[in-house]
Structure formats: structure tokens, C-alpha cells
Structure 1
């Protein structure tokens, strides 16, 4: 029997800023991985800035504020950055540390596609048999508070749960806010979430996300929209 609940122990948190929202085509510009052994403990931060090799569109630049000039002057080759990020996540997987990723199918799928693009590899290959134990605050919140109205972006969830989000759309700031958010979620909904081990919670989220996606797809179908909702979590399969 575990001595403490998962949200009271070590957590890592991962976030990216990118050239856009298409996981198949867009590129990672910056990323952050934060590590904290327990609530209130010091935080270890790993950050990366990549020159993606393509212009950063105006829309993306307006969100995260990173310019072409910045990445050309201070960014590193994407091949190096992507390999280091994958290695850092693999280390957390081998250590069994839960990895917080807000809207995981976006960031993890984008990382997988970057590995395919630059290394002819995959995220699964880089994990080499280890499994990421992902904690997605968006999935957790939808599970414990299914019928609450309103959006569920990181900004919205932080406001709802009273978590400070300073410097939104900076990878480090977003990763830190997401990490704090899941600690609050776990504590506030410990009856629904706290009883699981990290591995059990990961498996539950695959089921919860699929049900949530099914419900959203039904809504789109009833409203006549042509949107298609992917039920895969935490990684979308390659086409």
C-alpha cells in the first residue's frame, strides 16, 4: 500500500511553445521540464530554445512572444533539442515519476512527430520500454466536474482552482502552473482521484478521455458540425 497519495509525491511537468497547433506539421520552439519532489520542495527546471528551421507565424508569435530573431540568435538546432527533451522524459519514465502535461495529446504527439522528422525515431522508441505515467489536468477536471460550464484551458482551470499563473504561454510558467494545478486537483478530489497509483491513474485517464471525446463528438454530430474528435490519449497515433 502506498505511503502517500500520488499528488503528494514527486511530480514532473512538461510544456512546449510551438509554431502552431497542427501536431503533424508544426514545430517546437521552446520547452520546459520541471521536477518537484513534494509540495513546497525546491523545483528543478530544464528549459530549451530551438531554432525550428521555419519562420514562426505571426499568430504563434503573438501567443508566446518568441521571434525569429531570438531563435536564430539563441536557439539551438532542433535535432539536438528534440533529442534532449526525449531523453529527459525517458529518464522520468524510467524513474516512475508522474509527468504532468496539460492537454497531453498535443505536446506529446508534437514531440513524437518532431522525433520522426529529425531522427526517424518515435517517442516510444526513445522510451525504450519505459512508460510515461501521464497526468493531464484537463482530463482530470472533466472527470471530476463533468457538467461545469465554461472553457477548460490552463488559464481557466488555474482561475477555477485558485492557482497562480504568471507569465502564461511561457513553457516554464505553464508547466509550473500545471504541476501546482494537479496537486490541488488531487487534494480537492482525493476521494475520486487519490486512491489510484500513478500507473492506475494513467490507465483510467485513457478511458476517461475516450468517453469525454465521445461525448464531444456526439455534440458535434448533433449540431451538424464536421469536426472529428480524436479519442487517443496521451499520444495520437501517426497517420
Structure 2
């Protein structure tokens, strides 16, 4: 059976910002869909322990005051997330995450911050990830327009209610992955192990192309050095200033 006809696990985070080394998790969702089983979804609201910038709150709708009043301790949320994904991975279910290197790296740094064994340390090379962003750029490289989850949902006729809420985004990412796999045999017929390995190479090529674009574009040259090519996780460096 093709991988996309079985169970998939959507994973999404909403955070205090976009720096994986210093920002924190605010909301999270792990949702299992497909495989002829009912959808099972778990969501979390964390108190990140730092102020949530106004710009971030405008995106996901959670203010510092709400997170402090209603959120669970960050360490507890991070432990739940790692434990939930460990269960998924050990059952051979792929983790579907839009721009996976952001969410998985953010979770990795949060785990280390709170003294929790990171997902990568627990499951090793058993982790299999499906990233709709990487897949879409591979199968439709020259399409004009944006590549956000909202853009992909529009292009692949996937409903997206409540964009930038972790649960809505996690489910939508799974639906987009299903659409891509059902439309493009290169993706749908690949064995899950092979697809994971292929995405590592595709993501690297896509990142290198973006960096090259920045180098050639006046006013954007400085952005080239910030492009990371690693997928689905940016390796942790002991020397990093992780607070």
C-alpha cells in the first residue's frame, strides 16, 4: 500500500518567533489522520516563559497574558510533544510537517533547554518525515506565486479553516501531502524510506537555490548566509547560544 493511503501524523507549532535557537513554543498539535481510522488530535497551549511579541500574537492569536493564565508549563508541554512523536515514529507512521526543519528544530532546542531527551536522540534514524513544502517545490518547481501553507492549500484545493492555529495547520499539511502524493507518482509510489532520503537532497538543492537567488539580488545579498540547507533537523551545536 502506498504510504499516503495509510496513517499520517500532522505536527505543527506556533511560536514566539522564527529563531529556532532562542524562540519558544506557544501552541502545538499532533494529529493522526487517514488509514481508515478516526482522526485523533491533541493540542497544547504552553506558557513559554518569555513575552510573546505583538507581531507573533497577531499571527496565532495568543497573547502573553493568555499564555501565562491558561498555558501549561513549557517543560511539561515539550515532554508531551516528544513522547507523542516517539509513539508515532515507533509505529512507523510518517510525521507530516510544513517546513519541517523549523518545527522539528524548535522542538529539539526546547527539549534541550528543559533537560528532556530530544526526539532525534530517542528514535535515532527511525524518524520519517514528509514535508509538503519540499514536495511542492520538487514537483512544481517553476510555479509562480507563494509557497506558504495557505498558498498550497489554495493550489491543491485543500480547505484551511483557522490558518496559523496549530491544529488547523497540522491537518491541512496532511491533506496537502495526500494531494501531492495522489497527483504525482514520483511521490506517491516512493517507499517511505526512499522518500525521506530524497527530501534531504531536494531540500538541500532548494535551499542552495534560494541562497544563490539572494546573492544575485541587490539588497538581499546579506540573506544568503542565513539560509540553512539541513533537513528535517538543523543539527545542534554545543557552542550555540541556546538560552
Instruction: Tell me if TM exceeds 0.5.
Output: yes
Which consecutive residues of structure 2, in runs of 5 or more, have no partner in the other structure?
238-243
Q: Is 1:72 aligned to residue 47 of structure 2?
A: no
Distance 1:117 1:75 in 2: 18
* Equivalences, count: 233
**Secondary structure at 2:234 match in 1:** coil
Q: Is 1:159 aligned to residue 154 of structure 2?
A: yes
Q: What is the TM-score of this pair, normalised by structure 1?
A: 0.94
Deviations 1:67-109 (A, max 9, x none): 2222222211111110110111111111110110000010000
Tell me if the contact between 1:90 and 1:130 (Cα under 8 Å) persists in the aligned partners.
no
Q: Which residue in 2 is equivalent to 1:150?
A: 145
Tell me if the contact between 2:79 and 2:116 (Cα under 8 Å) persists in the aligned partners.
no
Distance 2:187 2:53 in 1: 39
- Pairwise CA distance, 1:122: 2.8
Q: 1:13 aligned to 1, 10, 18, which one?
A: 10
Q: What is the TM-score of this pair, normalised by structure 2?
A: 0.92
Q: 1:101 aligned to 89, 93, 97, which one?
A: 97
Which consecutive residues of structure 1, in runs of 5 or more, have no partner in the other structure?
none
Q: Is 1:26 aligned to residue 23 of structure 2?
A: yes
Q: Is 1:136 aligned to residue 131 of structure 2?
A: yes
- Pairwise CA distance, 1:196: 1.1
Distance 1:123 1:93 in 2: 10
Tell me if the contact between 2:85 and 2:119 (Cα under 8 Å) persists in the aligned partners.
no
RMSD after superposition: 1.3
Distance 1:119 1:150 in 2: 41
Distance 2:33 2:169 in 1: 15
Q: Which residue in 1 is equivalent to 2:47?
A: 51
**Secondary structure at 1:49 match in 2:** strand
Distance 2:212 2:67 in 1: 42
Deviations 1:11-31 (A, max 9, x none): 000001110111110000110
Runs in 1 of length 4+ with deviation above 6 angstroms?
none
Q: Which residue in 1 is equivalent to 2:241?
A: none
- Pairwise CA distance, 1:120: 5.7
Distance 1:194 1:221 in 2: 35
Q: Is 1:214 aligned to residue 229 of structure 2?
A: no
Tell me if the contact between 1:165 and 1:173 (Cα under 8 Å) persists in the aligned partners.
yes
Tell me if the contact between 2:101 and 2:231 (Cα under 8 Å) persists in the aligned partners.
yes
Tell me if the contact between 1:87 and 1:126 (Cα under 8 Å) persists in the aligned partners.
no
